[in-house]
Each structure stands twice: as structure tokens, then as C-alpha cells.
Structure 1
Amino acid sequence: MERTLTVLRVALYHPTQVPAAFSSVPPRLQHDTSPLLVGRGQKAHLQLKLPHLSRRHLSLEPYRERGSAVLSFCLKVLSHKGSMWVNGLRLRYLEQVPLSTFNRITFSGVQMLIHVEVGVSLEAFVCCFHLSPAPLIYRLEAEETDEDEIIPQQQPPQDSGERTPAHLGVLQGPSQTQDSSPQPSPGRAEIQLQREAPEDAHC
């Protein structure tokens, strides 16, 4: 019997709406358990032709927690350009954070939603991509912006002296990856993704 693959349903939006920017995005991509690279370069598995991105901007990295029979994922920043926001957490170069079931990600003007549908296969996973004509994330918090972005956005507040969360940059076991802060409620676009998602790995 074929083992069900884990599916990452990825929705993408960029305010410039340049068709060429997403011309290399496939509707479906099956990948092994090596890191999946996102960036501007030709060697990126998900290539976004946006001038403000690095050739290797970020990676989605599958891993298996101790005692678990399913794949988990983390997002790792590979770019020196600015910073990235993942579920309200600010990440910089080489920092990483585990992904939850629903994830809000912003970088260089790109808005990305990732919905993880867990399967039982440990050999590969599938990404299904959807290009959105409308914004996916309606940020209520002004801090979810990047002062280093070239694309005009709302200015972030002055440095409040907040400390980097302890789990950034380190993958930890299941007992240590629990975040005491509440998870953000899924927005309208996330709920729509959840309703439209079929039960199998077909996109």
C-alpha cells in the first residue's frame, strides 16, 4: 500500500503582481527529505523572480522528532537581506523556527501561507502552490514589517528591546518546541485553504 505523503499547501502573494515573478512556480512539487530552497536563483526548488530576493532566500527543512513517525518542518533564513516574520516571530540570517499546522510568513514583500497536512511517509513530501490575486495576510500588528525592505511598507516601531525567543536557531525535541505564547488564529485566507484542501496528496 502506498504511504500517504505529507502535503504543504502554499499560497503566495506579492503586491506588484508581475506575472513573470511567479512564472517558474509549479502547481505541484514532490520533494525528498532534503531542504527545499526558495529564492531567486536557478538552483532554487521554488524560484521567485523578484529582484529583492537572494538566490537562496530561505529553506523549508523536514525533520523527524524523536519518537515521532511523521515529518515535521522548520523554516530557516538563508538571506542577509532584511529579516523575515514567521507567525509573529522575527527571524534573521541563519535563524530558524519550527512550523505549526498553519503558518503566516512575510519577507521582501512576499506573503506566504503554509498549511501542513501530515502524512505517514518519511521519504518525501509534496508542495501544492496557489498564487493569490489578493493579500493573504492582513497585518494588524505594525511590527510585522521589515525596515530593511525596499518595497514601501508600514514602518515598524522603534526597537523595544525584545529578546530573541530561546528556540530560534535550534531545533529542539517535542517537549521543548512548545511555545507558551498563543498561536495566531487562522485568518480568512487560511480558513479558505483549510476548507478547499482535499484529503489526499493531489493538488
Structure 2
Amino acid sequence: MDKPLTVLRVSLYHPTQGPAVFANIPPQLQHDISPLLVGRGQDAHLRLQLPTLSRRHLSLEPYREKGSSLLVFCLKALSRRGCVWVNGLTLRFLEQVPLGAVNRVSFSGIQMVVHVEGGMSLEAFVCCFHLSPLPLIYRPQAEETDEWESIPQEQPPPGSGQQAPGHLGFLHDPSQTRDSPPQPSPGGGTEIQLQREPPDGMLC
């Protein structure tokens, strides 16, 4: 009996909802365990028609942790021109972060939510795509552009309960509200660490 494949359920939103943006998105895509490239280039597995995107903007990279029989994933930023926001973290060129069960991603005005449903196969995975008519991610006092880094990040007064303008708030998740403080990890600090690899050539 074939082992079940890991499934990534990917919801996509862009404010223009223009048909050209998502014209090349299939309902379903099966992929081997090589990195799945997202961008506007001809070699991108997930092609999005936006001039602000790099040819290779980001990648979803499956791997197996030592002692585990399941595929897990990380997301790597491949663009020199713009940042990628993943679960509230900013990734720059060649930085990467591991993905959890539910992941909120934003880049070049595109909002993407990735749900990971684990399977036993280590040879391939499946992406199922859904185009959302409504925003997936809520960002107070910020526009969906790659110029957010130029917006001053004012820190709120201590004890005010207000969050800085650059904070990510998410729709459709009652467990997270604008006034809820971040939950510390058991060992203190944050559990997710950014990783940077040495440049291996121009990717944009």
C-alpha cells in the first residue's frame, strides 16, 4: 500500500484579485522533495504574474528531521529586492525559517496561508491551492508593499497593551488578538531561529 503524501493546503489572496495574477495556479500540484520555487520566472513551480516579484522569490523546502518519519518544511527567501514575512518574522535574502502546522506568509502584496498536513511518504508531497476572495492576514497601519521596512517602527509605551505598527495580526484566528501578548517558549526567548546561508549567485 502506498504511503500517504504530506499535503500543503495553500490559500492565496491579492487585493486586486486580477485573473492574471493567479492565472497559472493549478488546483493541485504534486511535487518531489526538491525545493518548490515561487516567483514569476518560467522555472517557478508556483508562478505568480506580478512585476514586483523576483523570478525566484521564495521556496518551500521539504526535509526530514533526524529520527522522524515525516516530512517537515522550511521557507527560504530568495529575493534580493524585497522581504518575506512569515508568522511575524521578516526574512531577507537567503534567510529561512521552519514552518509549523499553520503559517501566515506575505510578500509583494500577496497573502498566503499554508496548512501542513503530515503524511508518511518521504518521496513527494501535494499542494492544494485555494484563491480567497477575502484578506487572510490583518496588518494594522501598514500597506501590503515591500516598502514596509521604511515605515518607522514606533514602540508602544510600557504597559499600554498596544502593539507596534509592524506587528502582524491575523484574521480568522480567535486565539490571537491585537491585545494578546506573544507567548514565550518554555526555555525563554523565541523558538524559531532565522538562518542565513552564503550567497550562491544572483537569484533575481
Matching of residue 167 in structure 1 with residue 198 in structure 2: no
> Kindly, what percent of the aligned residue pairs are identical?
66
C-alpha separation between the residues in 2 aligned to 1:61 and 1:133?
27
Q: Using structure 2 for the length normalisation, give the TM-score.
A: 0.73
1:158 alignment partner in structure 2: 153
CA contact (8 A) 1:81 1:148 kept: no
C-alpha separation between the residues in 1 aligned to 2:143 and 2:69?
34
Task: Within 5 Å, give how 1:91-130 maps onto structure 2.
Answer: 91-130=91-130
User: What SS class does the counterpart of residue 11 from structure 1 fall into?
Assistant: strand
CA contact (8 A) 2:109 2:145 kept: no
More strand by share: 2
C-alpha separation between the residues in 2 aligned to 1:144 and 1:85?
13
C-alpha separation between the residues in 2 aligned to 1:130 and 1:167?
29
Task: Within 5 Å, give how 1:1-203 maps onto structure 2.
Answer: 1-140=1-140, 148=147, 156-158=151-153, 167-169=193-195
User: What SS class does the counterpart of residue 20 from structure 2 fall into?
Assistant: helix
**33 and 105 in structure 1: CA distance in 2 versus 1, 3 angstrom threshold:** same
CA contact (8 A) 1:85 1:144 kept: no
Cα offset for 1:69?
Answer: 0.4
CA contact (8 A) 2:110 2:144 kept: no
Cα offset for 1:13?
Answer: 0.4
Q: What is the number of equivalent residue pairs in this alignment?
A: 163
Q: Using structure 1 for the length normalisation, give the TM-score.
A: 0.74
User: What SS class does the counterpart of residue 69 from structure 2 fall into?
Assistant: coil
C-alpha separation between the residues in 1 aligned to 2:9 and 2:41?
22
More helix by share: 1
C-alpha separation between the residues in 1 aligned to 2:151 and 2:113?
21
Please give the root-mean-square deviation of Cα atoms over the aligned residues, in Å: 2.5
C-alpha separation between the residues in 2 aligned to 1:159 and 1:80?
26
Task: Give a deviation string over 1:49-84, Cα, whole Å, max 9, x none.
Answer: 011000000000000001000000000000012211
CA contact (8 A) 1:102 1:115 kept: yes
**99 and 40 in structure 1: CA distance in 2 versus 1, 3 angstrom threshold:** same
C-alpha separation between the residues in 2 aligned to 1:89 and 1:13?
19
Cα offset for 1:157?
Answer: 3.0
C-alpha separation between the residues in 1 aligned to 2:53 and 2:191?
25
C-alpha separation between the residues in 2 aligned to 1:36 and 1:97?
15
Q: Structure 2: give runs of 5+ residues left out of the alignment.
A: 156-189, 198-204
